[in-house]
Structure 1
């Protein structure tokens, strides 16, 4: 049998089941006053009920005589004679329902026998335990709330096709507890971050998502057009330049959890639309930011893992109980590349020779020391940084918004934060010298004119804001999606996005 035959047989079977369900709905519309009632109100959920009744046997539950109202989707059903069981799934988990003619009457039982897996129902009844000890609601009343017109995936195999799970996330959430748990943890991580920031007197703010000038990161923007103003706007690639305006205005501790958009490729680590957290702290520097990041990551780990600061990710343990290791770009290359000790990493000639040794491509005519050494780092070091690590000493050439180091003007007071072999955060002591910022923007414009479509535009309004005076400030951005990947053991960014971007199917 060919694959095409199997697919066609499956489609024919599904179409037959859909036809049957539509016929059932037509009968309901004809016989019932309301086909999709909306008067039922639940008073508990599966998880809460299991927790409340934990440790109580059948006799104790009978004595308690607790009546509950619950609703959810039928995910399993079996009939026998004048009774039956159904497994009801709500947002928190599953609960077993016992149905019997003697409890609900012949008419209601006949209705129940026609209901399908996937239908959404309401039940009111007494809490008990089955002969096997499973917590059960003995139905006194049953109501069909929503008729499902399409059959769910096979209950034994679930929705296993990875692409289908991304395209039809609703089915993935119905069928796969692992996916539901991933997004529960995502919400927990965000709540933990907000609590952490609130406790440190940071104010959550909102900044524009459409910019007249894209800025705050080296990235290619999405472009849109505003009809009324007859002008181009760019979807936000970063909120940085707006958040720093607020610091100029006297808001000394601000943060934003925001959606950003970058016109880049799609991969296991990249999605064109993603969530970031950025925060700015006046009268602090990049070292303070590293300390704060260590504390935040530990708080998240303890929250997500119920008291443990160790996280299992893709087969190894990541430990957040201790501060992350700190090293410069040069130190990391020497540590992870044995050959690097034979080259002078402080000169362009030295890093160019090392790049040539590794056959790493760079612009031999135009690339400066800073750009070449970062090509080496990206190629040879980044994926080795499995445990939490801060890399510091980033070159000025790749850090247009960071403050120059006082001792070495070729580098900046900047770090990137790595976990699991990928960059998760980027922070630095902010550049608050308006004239220096002006010169760096001019340099970025020259790069853009030379063909670098990710170089920054000149932002006159931001330079004007700096001219009014910004206090010494530190800032950082953390990729929330990549962070959630670490804390949920997810191999792909698509696993932690409810609706990842996918190519449109024919």
Structure 2
């Protein structure tokens, strides 16, 4: 077994722990500590009082606990510490004549990062800072590691993600992001629950790759002796539930896609998918705007938010623009005109668009033009709708122009935030679409979906007209908390193994 090596400071802290154990004051033997208040409750309820008003109150002794983040002595007989808990920070004033010489001597041996419980009464200093005047303390856990400097924080960005627990200790803004994340998810649930939609859970392990255009992770199911995929979407199972008679179902959960890692992408991420019977994709445009505004309200004070160098007004109606019009408006290429694949390929060549073997259709080329020239230019929230049929195997065909589907994606500052359809419920058409995807796979598209006969059979029992949407929770949190990277809103993002 390899022997661990400790820094000088770590060795000193371990020596302090040994001394406490010899004095029968081992902090790791403490099993619980009853707090009368959180620090936030104290600040919220008592900061309004003046020093004199606090002194005149008939106070009962209170108990609090937290991690020591600052320590400073006031001569040889008193000390101030600041402790943090989940939501707030509070100063504690400790005096030798209040807790006794022996206890004060041990108190002076405490380190930054130690978790301590205090009992006492509230006061305000001459500078007006709300503080607890300690009558006693209990060391609840000893920090054997040295925390990063309070002001400098963690300098190595990857280390910040790798040791998220340290980042949460030293950076209140990080903790605030994840509190906001929970509020955003709860708000989505509350809005959808109030509309009568039901939250459900569907399998993570799938026998068939489907529901999205993405490369899956594969694993082996020993009990069944079969290879399975980690889900790339929840769509096909949720639509089975609509067939089964539910009017509206949604799932918030982890999705797994075997793709690259970047500031926008993590191979496992959280999405919400919602399916509502008897509605179309225009209904989902309105609902998406409502969800974005209501989630923003719980984390920001204004509907005008900042993201990077941009300001966005979420109170304004989101723009709605057909994909073909978006291309035509920006670069003048008109895909409304009927054209052959050869004509489309010539346009692609003229505009330096590379077309893969599996993309040899006009619909694919339209999408390539959009991705190359338009996507990055969209700043204000914009619904891009009318996706070509070839890239939308699960969307209902537009009844006025069979080349396109009733589908939209929401783009903001060049990023996709939502993908929605009027769902294809024709089992015969769906079967042919799956066959087309098989042909694409044979031509080299490793993101093509597979044939799902069970889903076809589900549609054959009749699915009502249905609207379905997927929204990326992580990107929504990034937007509403002004976070630059997806790693900033994932508690434990994927990282390369540390050598």
Q: What's the TM-score, normalizing by structure 2?
A: 0.95
Matched, 1:392 2:385: yes
Paired residue for 2:232? 237
Matched, 1:474 2:467: yes
Paired residue for 1:4? none
Paired residue for 1:500? 493
Paired residue for 1:464? 457
Q: Which runs of 5+ in 1 are unaligned?
A: 1-10
What's the offset of the Cα at 1:345? 5.8
**For 1:314, which of 268, 287, 308 is the aligned residue?**
308
Aligned residues: 492
What's the offset of the Cα at 1:366? 5.5
Structure 1 outlier segments of 4+, above 4 Å: 343-346, 348-351
Partner-residue secondary structure (3-state), 2:193 = helix
**For 1:275, which of 249, 270, 276 is the aligned residue?**
270
Matched, 1:157 2:149: no
What's the offset of the Cα at 1:351? 4.5
Partner-residue secondary structure (3-state), 1:114 = coil
What's the offset of the Cα at 1:67? 2.9
Partner-residue secondary structure (3-state), 1:238 = coil
What's the offset of the Cα at 1:172? 0.7
Q: Which runs of 5+ in 2 are unaligned?
A: none
What's the offset of the Cα at 1:178? 1.3
1:2-401 alignment to 2 at 5 Å?
15-32=7-24, 34-36=26-28, 37-64=30-57, 65-79=59-73, 80-306=75-301, 308-337=302-331, 339-340=332-333, 346-347=338-339, 348=341, 351-363=344-356, 367-401=360-394
CA distance 1:287–1:47, change in 2 (3 Å): same
What's the offset of the Cα at 1:365? 8.8
Distance in structure 2 (CA, Å) of the matches to 1:498 and 1:486: 16
Q: What's the TM-score, normalizing by structure 1?
A: 0.94
Q: Is the 8 A contact 2:359 2:365 kept in 1?
A: no
Partner-residue secondary structure (3-state), 1:241 = helix
Q: Is the 8 A contact 2:324 2:336 kept in 1?
A: no
Cα deviation digits, residues 47-75 of structure 1 (max 9, x gap) = 22111113211111112225321111101
What's the offset of the Cα at 1:447? 1.3
Distance in structure 2 (CA, Å) of the matches to 1:363 and 1:20: 63
Distance in structure 1 (CA, Å) of the matches to 2:102 and 2:358: 85
Distance in structure 2 (CA, Å) of the matches to 1:451 and 1:34: 63
What's the offset of the Cα at 1:132? 1.1
RMSD of the alignment, in Å? 1.7
What's the offset of the Cα at 1:353? 4.1
Distance in structure 2 (CA, Å) of the matches to 1:138 and 1:458: 70
Cα deviation digits, residues 130-183 of structure 1 (max 9, x gap) = 121111011111110000000000122112321111111011111111111111
Larger deviation, residues 201-210 vs 297-306: 297-306
Paired residue for 1:449? 442
Partner-residue secondary structure (3-state), 2:236 = helix
Distance in structure 2 (CA, Å) of the matches to 1:248 and 1:344: 35
Paired residue for 1:7? none
